[in-house]
Amino acid sequence: MSGHGDVHDYGPDIFTEAEGDDDTLANLGPLSGMAGTWEGVTGVDVHPVGPGSDMDGTAVDNGGLQNVYVERYDLQPIDPQTNGPQLLYGLRYHTHIVKPGEVETFHDQVGYWLWEPAAGLVLHSLTIPRGQVVLASGPAAPDATEFEVTATLGGGTTGIVSAPFLDRAFRTTEFRMRVTVHDDGTWSYEEHTMMEVEGRADLVDHVDRNRLRRTAAPQPNPLAAVAGSEA
């Protein structure tokens, strides 16, 4: 098993594709407890605001603002993916967040959660419609119920890329997300985004956390669905 940031040794043949199992849901390793559609109504977001801000929320000690939020997180299995001998199983996701009782989007995010069995590695990609993308990773055992993915600015095989304004005014230097799958069938996350905010000498820790309950089971990935219909 490789450590975080290591490359698994797949040997000299980088072109011959790995053979995987058509049923992604049976091969998600530590991501197994996250498949499906989820809702969380106890989300907490702590983010930086400017001096004298009159935005709704609760002021916190670090000069930021705390908001509560409601989240719908949909994670559906994709067909197995290969890069030559590298085999990945994964979930395509969309999370949509609003403040309680409101319609306007508070946060929107899409991406993939990926599991690389040979390397014992979880990969997490995210894209948000404010001009930012992140690829984070972290080691995990196949039966892990807790794991963490991280990314740093200029990290090489993981990283953070922001559009020009964000990179100048709210430069993200580190991203860290810890996932816990609970015995009661829920899962939770705690996310820390470290930022250099223009005009502030200290790093700002933008924190998000929520606990999600499943509202619908996942749908089989396309290959598995076809195999099931032919059985």
108-120 burial: b if 16+ Cβ within 10 Å, else e: ebebbbbbbbebb
- Per-residue pLDDT band at 227 (split at 50, 70, 90): confident
What pLDDT is attached to residue 28? 98
Q: At 29, list the tokens.
A: 């390793």
* Distance from C-alpha of 98 to C-alpha of 183, rounded to nearest angstrom: 27
* Distance from C-alpha of 180 to C-alpha of 116, rounded to nearest angstrom: 19
Q: Would the pTM of this model clear 0.75, i.e. be above it? A: yes
Average pLDDT of span 134-163: 97
pLDDT tens readout for residues 108-131? 999 999 999 999 999 999 999 999
Is the CB of residue 69 less than 8 Å from the CB of residue 210?
Answer: yes
* Burial of 3 per CB tally in 10 Å (0-12, 13-18, 19+): exposed
* Burial of 14 per CB tally in 10 Å (0-12, 13-18, 19+): exposed
Among the listed ranges 13-27, 35-49, 116-130, which one has the minimum average pLDDT value?
35-49
What pLDDT is attached to residue 7? 75
pLDDT tens readout for residues 45-97? 887 655 544 445 444 445 566 789 999 999 999 999 999 999 999 999 999 99
What pLDDT is attached to residue 67? 81
% of the chain surpassing 90 pLDDT: 82
